Homo-oligomer: A and B are copies of this chain.
Amino acid sequence: MSSKHIVVIPGDGIGAEITAEALRVSQSAAKKCGFSFTHESKQAGGAAIDAYGVPLPEDTIEACRKADGVLLGAVGGPKWDNVAPELRAEKAILGLRKSLGLYANLRPIKVFPALAAQSPLKPEIVSEVDILIVRELNGGIYYGARQEAVIVNEVEQAWDREGYSRPEIERILRLACRSAIGRKGKVTSVDKANVLATSRLWRKVANEVAADFTQVEINHMYVDNCAMQLVLNPGSFDVLVTGNLFGDILSDEAAVLSGSIGLLPSASLGDGTGLYEPIHGSAPDIAGLGLANPLGTILSAAMMFRYSLGSEQVAAMIEAAVDQVLADGYRTPDIYQQGLTKVSTEEMGQQVINRLK
């Protein structure tokens, strides 16, 4: 009997509703698998600003550090848009990533057969999509040295530095290669090595790391070509690994292929506690109305069982139940189509629970 502990951070807007359903589903699935875990709830984002005056209280950080996994709903909303920059609700996520040493963002992009028709792409192009995007989260140009606008020799200019070190590249590539095992075993490393020095180091180290994984085949793709191939031929990808900036662009491009952002989960991993959250926002306009789609959070919980709690069995059980709920025609309003069954946030959670087996 395992005894894992998780922290649930509902956050703001629809966060409370969607995390409540993800927790119910998690508890039910764990019970069926003979897996036990405890949980506690903590605040972050606007809710924490209201209660404590800061978006990420020390108490929350401490609890997360000690936990095996953190499940987060969403943070932010117009109520907190006019606070000082360092107090913005979104700082809670950046602060958590930093405190937990999270350096990898994992985003699975899967097209559910029942939802393929909602993709902007033609059904025959999206039907086979099952991509895992592994984005480096802690380095690159987003965290490099920079110079705000300044006048040098009478010319106003600004700059930012892109850069990676060998250890940063090694750890993200190892994670990507490990993730490919049990999938199709194919890792596509994306860079711009025909131009950038950083990319040439990235590519060299990627090849060295991949050589240690005999079950994994690595190939390389330029970022501009990758942006094309994600639209032309998204079914050809398995694991896609790249740096922070390219990963930001490509993971957002890939997200819309699925046809519904409300269903997409994510994991942020480091060497300790992992953070799990849907990729959608806090949708304050529909908060508290039972209209929110909890599936992105439920699938994030499944990822938590896989990557942080050590139960592939619970993860797979939740994912199979979500597949089945969609195949059976249950839809929250964001993905509703005529002729199907419209359900509330809570009803959707219950329908997933009913199909856990």
Residues of A within 8 A of B (CB): 120-122, 125, 141-142, 144, 146-149, 155-167, 192, 195-198, 200-201, 204, 223-225, 227-228, 230-232, 245, 248-253, 255-257
CB contacts (< 8 Å) of A166 on chain B: these are 155-157
* Interface SS majority for chain A: helix
Cβ–Cβ contact B156 & A201, under 8 A? yes
- Extra inter-chain contacts (14) besides given A146-B196, A149-B204, A223-B248, CB under 8 Å: A121-B122, A122-B122, A141-B162, A141-B196, A146-B197, A149-B200, A157-B165, A158-B197, A158-B200, A159-B161, A159-B197, A227-B252, A231-B257, A232-B256
When all copies of this chain in the complex are counted, the total is 2
- List 30 contacting pairs A-B, 8 Å CB cutoff, sorted by A: A121-B122, A122-B122, A142-B196, A146-B197, A147-B197, A148-B197, A149-B197, A149-B200, A149-B204, A155-B167, A156-B165, A156-B166, A156-B201, A157-B163, A157-B166, A157-B201, A158-B200, A158-B201, A159-B163, A159-B197, A159-B198, A160-B162, A160-B196, A161-B161, A162-B162, A192-B245, A224-B251, A225-B252, A228-B253, A249-B249
CB contacts (< 8 Å) of A232 on chain B: these are 120, 256
CB contacts (< 8 Å) of A147 on chain B: these are 163, 197
Cβ–Cβ contact B227 & A250, under 8 A? yes
CB contacts (< 8 Å) of A231 on chain B: these are 120-121, 231, 253, 256-257
A198 to B125, CA, bound (A): 37
Find the B residue at minimum CB distance from A148: B197
A14 to B120, CA, bound (A): 34
CB contacts (< 8 Å) of A157 on chain B: these are 163-166, 201
Which of A141, A166, A249 has the most chain B CB atoms inside 10 A of its CB? A249
Those 7 A-B pairs whose CB atoms lie nearest each other, nearest first: A159-B163, A227-B253, A158-B201, A156-B166, A157-B165, A224-B252, A146-B197
A125 to B125, CA, bound (A): 15
A133 to B162, CA, bound (A): 25
Cβ–Cβ contact B200 & A148, under 8 A? yes
A144 to B32, CA, bound (A): 57
CB contacts (< 8 Å) of A252 on chain B: these are 224-225, 227-228
A225 to B249, CA, bound (A): 8
A253's partner among B148, B160, B253 (CB-CB below 8 A) is: B253
A206 to B253, CA, bound (A): 25
Cβ–Cβ contact B159 & A160, under 8 A? no
A167 to B196, CA, bound (A): 24
CB contacts (< 8 Å) of A201 on chain B: these are 148-149, 156-158
Cβ–Cβ contact B248 & A228, under 8 A? no
CB contacts (< 8 Å) of A144 on chain B: these are 159
CB contacts (< 8 Å) of A245 on chain B: these are 192
